[in-house]
Chains A and B, each alone.
Chain A
Amino acid sequence: MSKEMEFDANEEKLKTLRVSSLDEEEDDNEAQVDEIDDPDLSTDEDEEGEVHPVTLGFVEKLKNKWSLLRHYFPSKAGGTPAWLDPINLPSEKSSLCDFCSEPLQFLLQVYGPLTEESTFHHESTFHRALFVFMCPSMACLLRDQHEQWKRHPEKPCRSVKVFRCQLPQTNSFYSGKPPSEDGTEQPLTAGAKLCNWCGTWKGDKVCSSCRKARYCSGKHQAAHWRSGHRLACTRLQTSLEMSESAASNSLWPQYEITIEDECEFENEMSDSEYSNILVSGNRVDESVRSLMDDFAGDDDKRSWASFQERISRAPEQVLRYCRSAKAKALWPVHSGRPSRSDIPACNYCGGTRCFEFQVLPQLLYYFGVQNDVDSLDWATIVVYTCEASCKGDEGYKEEFAWVQLVSQSAP
């Protein structure tokens, strides 16, 4: 009998040992495993913080008139695109939204040349720019959501399109030297004539009466006619003047995109609290995980919490750039993410596509997009480009964009 009592006493001791650890919410198995379980919890988080440095883009008002012209190789958002290759612009078919057949509107462009650090650097990627266009209609974006999930469609129908263009250092459009920083630089050749209304696409069609105004499509010609060309048309036949800027008033406001590294902001956030700022990316795991504990259970909430945490270091960012095969985007919402096989291979060389950059919804705020029922709203637009940045013949090659919308249902 006494042995049993002893046994019981030992058991009691063991039980009390457990209780005194004050553990309430932690799982039992967590107590046994050591710190290795951190990656388990953060498998769906990006590890890119410590491995791949992310570059952030911020929008700023234009400082001087010349810095957004194409021969200065800008990165800009809104307004009209500064085409890198001014002659071989995308075809008319690719410039239309595949759902409503309206010409797409310019969202932003990113100047991202490949340098010696990248494995796919070669002479033709000396100048490299990516242009993002989207249809401003939310109805088309909702239909586009269905289309982007289709794998190998015969005829891809998208309302968000990305074009890539690259040029070698010696080319027929720009001099081989860096442009001077005082606004006096001029491009070697004039570009193709652009549409008078949108200032974006090639203006092949002319106004039949004055033969001076050029348009990319009938819709823009009609819009320009209604909004003032009807009166100016007869005058133009005699005079030679033609305004340079686009006539449309529905273009998004123009900004310049300035560049900062994300690690600079990490140091700022941690200096007041944590003594070691050497650990830049790892710090995230701790608070993200505890945030996740409280948004427990719901994947969407957890992704949102970690998304908010990440962008809170620099809340005004609109672009996240990290060109690397293993880089992963920062997804605000858990649902609606593509898997490896959802991202198609490059149309031109057949190679894989990798993540390059993503656009964040702060841009909608800066564009002053209306917040009506049917106005544009997205959680993020992620752009995947050919990993090898293939050369090809055409001026502009299409790349793949993935749009993630905010789900409207209450969590």
Chain B
Amino acid sequence: MAERGAGDRGGFGRGFGGRGRGGDRGGRGRGGRRGRRDNEEKDWVPVTKLGRLVRDGKIKSIEQIYLHSLPIKEYQIIDILIGPSLKDEVMKIMPVQKQTRAGQRTRFKAFVVVGDGNGHVGLGVKCSKEVATAIRGSIILAKLSIIPVRRGYWGNKIGKPHTVPCKVTGKCGSVTVRMVPAPRGAGIVAARVPKKVLQFAGIEDVFTSSRGSTKTLGNFVKATFDCLLKTYGFLTPDFWRETRFSKSPFQEYTDLLAKPTAKVVHVVEDAEAA
């Protein structure tokens, strides 16, 4: 911590830009950071407002985020909300190559599916020079892309929902996957690849039918994922009742609130700076 007395550097060697490469104040408390690579959740400093809300514990379930269609930009949010029950599985590691002047450059593309077996699935794809990096990165991307899956009944509404609520179909590339509700005990009648995804989603019984080049695993998996995405997009008679809008953590929808209030509420407008 010796201050340079003679021939003073600008600012006595302190401050930004005023330091030498060695840094006299560099060792202050930051040295311990080097060895500490674990406990990443504890060290997470949220960058977005949603992240701050989750970190503070104001948001208890992921459904609150889905209700207002808020974009999830930090994977630690998912970790905190449904992290403990989340399982992941690597579907495939595919080497992809690019031709260069000096030969071929191989990278590895990893497909990872995460899910908690109770209505949430995510799919992540990442390409990287090393397999481990690709897998880690795709797990993060999978967590960011977690969607809710709607389950329903085939016939009698006894017990918990076990199958898709209606016939849905999803498409990616040339692959289309169609899911049809099945009675209890039918199990997941699907190919190996979508069966994994559906197991993670928590669907117990379903009949599937696929078309197209299902050999391309990437498209096949994305098509199933797209299919599951649509389960909540399908308007069934249960949704005929008029929606009661609730306040999002970010905005107030004044004219859409079901109950008309006597006092005047001002609208907070979000000005896009594009």
Which residues of A pack against B, CB within 8 Å? 21-26, 30-32, 34-35, 55, 57-58, 60, 63, 73, 75, 110-118, 121, 125-129, 139, 142-143, 145-146, 149, 169, 176-179, 181, 258-261, 264, 268, 273, 286-287, 290-291, 293-294, 304, 308, 311, 315-316, 321, 323, 332, 335-336, 357, 360-362, 364-366, 369, 371, 373-374, 377, 404-411
Contacts and interface: CB of A to CB of B under 8 A. Distances in A.
B29 A258 contact: yes
Interface string B149-182: 0000000000000000000000000000000000
Contacts of B26: 259-261, 264
A3 B35 CA distance: 69
Nearest to A265: B33
Contacts, number: 209
Given A142-B270, A404-B273, 14 more contacts: A31-B98, A55-B16, A60-B28, A60-B29, A73-B14, A112-B15, A114-B10, A127-B10, A259-B25, A259-B26, A287-B133, A361-B48, A369-B52, A373-B251
B47 A361 contact: yes
Contacts of A407: 272-274
Interface string B39-57: 0000111111100110110
B92 to A, nearest CB: 12
Contacts of B184: none
Interface stretch (B68-76, B78-86, B233-241): B68-76
Nearest to A30: B98
Interface residues of B, number: 81
A402 B71 CA distance: 24
Nearest to A167: B11
Contacts of A60: 28-29
B60 interface: no
B9 A373 contact: no
B128 A181 contact: no
B242 interface: no
22 contacts: A22-B95, A24-B94, A26-B96, A60-B28, A73-B12, A111-B18, A113-B10, A116-B10, A126-B8, A127-B11, A142-B270, A261-B23, A261-B26, A268-B34, A287-B137, A290-B128, A294-B125, A335-B274, A360-B47, A365-B45, A366-B45, A371-B49
Contacts of B185: none
A371 B249 contact: yes
